[in-house]
Structure 1
Amino acid sequence: MFSPSITAFWQTPFDNGEIIQGADGLSITINPELAHDRRVTVLDDLDGRVRVALTPALAERIGLRAETTWSAESFREALAGAGITLHDADFIFYFDRDAKDRLLGEADADGVRMLGERDADAFAAFEAANTEQDLDDAYVELDHWAVIGAHQDGKLVSATSAYPWGESLLADLGVLTLPAARGKGHARNVVRAIARHVYSRGYEPQYRCQLDNETSRALADKAGLSLFGTWEVVSAETED
C-alpha cells in the first residue's frame, strides 16, 4: 500500500537490536543505537500490533525482562512507574501508491506557486495575521527546504513548507491558512502541490498531526493522504 522507503524507515528501530517479545499484539526491541531523543519509540501501525523500541538503559530502568510477557498497557504502566513520559502521539499520513499516481497526474491549482526571498514581506504579513499557537503548531517557515503558497486576489492566504526528516527519504510538511480563508480548499491545494515537489526531489511527503487535531486530520483526508499509524517518542522532560 505504501512505498518501501516508508515501511523500511519505520521498521528500522524495531529490527536493529534484541527482540525480546514479538507476539501478543506487542513487539519489544532493545536497541542500543536509538538516538537520545528517540530512546523510547512507540509505533501503532493500526493492524492490531504495537511496536516498541528502547535503549538498554531504559529497559533496565523499567525492569524489562525477556521472561515476562508484556501488554501495551503493562508496558506503559512500567514507563510511568519509572518516571518515563512520552510526547503526545502523532498521526502519521502518507500517499499510498494509487493516490500518488493520481496526485502526479494533476497540475497545481491557480494561484499556487513556490515561495522564496522575494515573498519575505508578504510572508511576514501572513504570519502576523495568524495566532502564535497556529504558527507553532504548523511550523511553516520561509527558509525551509521547499515552500509553496496559495494566493487569493494577490494575497498570500495559505502556505506549506517541507524539510527532510533526519537522514531519511521522508520530507515532513506543515501547512497554515489565514483564518478568514479556511474552508475554501487552499490548504488542500498547497499540500498536494508541495507533495508533487517533494516527489520530484526523490522524497516521500509526510504529514503529521496530533490525535486531537480534528481540523488537521480532516485536511489529510481531503488532500488524499492515508493514515499509516500513530507514533510516540520519549518526552524531553524525561531525565536520563
Structure 2
Amino acid sequence: MPLAFSATVTDFWGLTGASPGPSDSYRVVVGPGLRSDLLLTLLDVVDGPLVATVSPATAERLGVADGEAVGRDALRARIAEAGLELNGADLVSYLPQEAQRAVTALPPAPGTRVLTAADAPEFARFSADAPEDDLDEAYVELDHWVALGTFVDDRLVAVASMYPWRESTVADIGVITLPEYRGRGLGRRLVQALAAEALARGHEPQYRHQTGNAASAALARAAGFARFGEWDVVTA
C-alpha cells in the first residue's frame, strides 16, 4: 500500500498494522459477523496484502483456519473444488490524502445541485434515456443518502449518488452521464463534488466498478481516485 490512503480505509478493510508489502498468500480471517448473504470475500490490495474473510461454515468447507496463510492459487483452487463460484471482482478506489485536499478546495461544479424528491420527474426522464447497463452497474438512485445532478440547458444529463456502504463510514459512489454528454468532464466534476460532500460528512468516498469497465476506471483516475485493490465475493 504505497499510497497514503486514510486510516478509515485501512481500518475498514482490517489492514491496520498489516504488512505493507505484496504477498502471494491470503491471510484467512474467519468472520462470524460476516454479512449473512456472504460466504467469502477476497481482497487483493495493490502492492499489499491479500485477505480472505470467510464465514465459520465456509472455513470448515475449505479446510482453512483463522490466521492461516494460504497461497493465492491454492485458495482459489479450494474454492472451485468446494463448488463455490466467485461473483467477479470489482476494482475499489479511494482518494489518497493529497487528492482529498484537492477535491475539497474545488469551486462548485457548474450546473450541479443536490437532487430531492421534487426532481423525481426529471430523474425518471434521465433514467429512461440512460443505457440499461449503466443503470444496472452504477446503482444511482434519487433516494440514496445524497444525490447530485448536473443540468445542461435545463436538462438533467448526469447524476451521481452515494450511500454508506456496508453500514460503515465509507460512502459508495455511483455516477452516470448520458452518452451524448460524455467527454465534457461533467462526470469527473460531479464525482469530485460528491466526494467533497462525503468528506464533509465524515465519510470516505469510495469508487467501485467492475474490472472490465475501462470507461469507469478512466473516470475514477480523472477524478483523483487511486486503485486500492480488487474485491470479490461468494454469495449464498
TM-score under structure 2 length normalisation: 0.90
Contact 2:28 2:69 in 1 (8 A): no
Query: How far did 1:230 drift?
Result: 0.8
Query: In structure 2, how many angstroms separate the alpha carbons of the residues matched to 1:220 and 1:13?
Result: 25
TM alignment of 1:86-125, pairs within 5 A: 86-125=86-125
One-letter identity of the residue aligned with 1:229: G
For residue 5 of structure 1, the aligned residue among 3, 8, 12 is 8
Alignment partner of 1:192: what SS? helix
Alignment partner of 1:75: what SS? helix
One-letter identity of the residue aligned with 1:123: F
| Number of matched pairs | 228
Gaps of 5+ in 2: none
Q: Which residue does the alignment assign to 1:20?
A: none
Root-mean-square deviation (CA), in Å?
2.1
Query: How far did 1:14 drift?
Result: 11
Contact 2:145 2:162 in 1 (8 A): yes
Q: Which residue does the alignment assign to 2:212?
A: 212
Residues 104 and 48 of structure 1: is their aligned pair in 2 closer, same or farther, counting only changes over 3 Å?
A: closer
Spell out, residue by residue over 1:64-101, the C-alpha distance to the aligned partner (whole angstroms, 9 max, x if none): 368x9631111111111111111110111111110001
TM alignment of 1:2-151, pairs within 5 A: 2-11=5-14, 25-64=25-64, 70-151=70-151
Q: Which residue does the alignment assign to 1:19?
A: none
One-letter identity of the residue aligned with 2:7: P
Provide the identity percentage: 42
Alignment partner of 2:63: what SS? coil
Alignment partner of 1:113: what SS? strand
Query: In structure 1, how many angstroms separate the alpha carbons of the residues matched to 2:15 and 2:32?
Result: 13
Query: How far did 1:33 drift?
Result: 2.5
TM-score under structure 1 length normalisation: 0.89
Contact 2:39 2:235 in 1 (8 A): no
Gaps of 5+ in 1: 16-22
Extract structure 1 runs of 4+ deviating beyond 3 A: 12-15
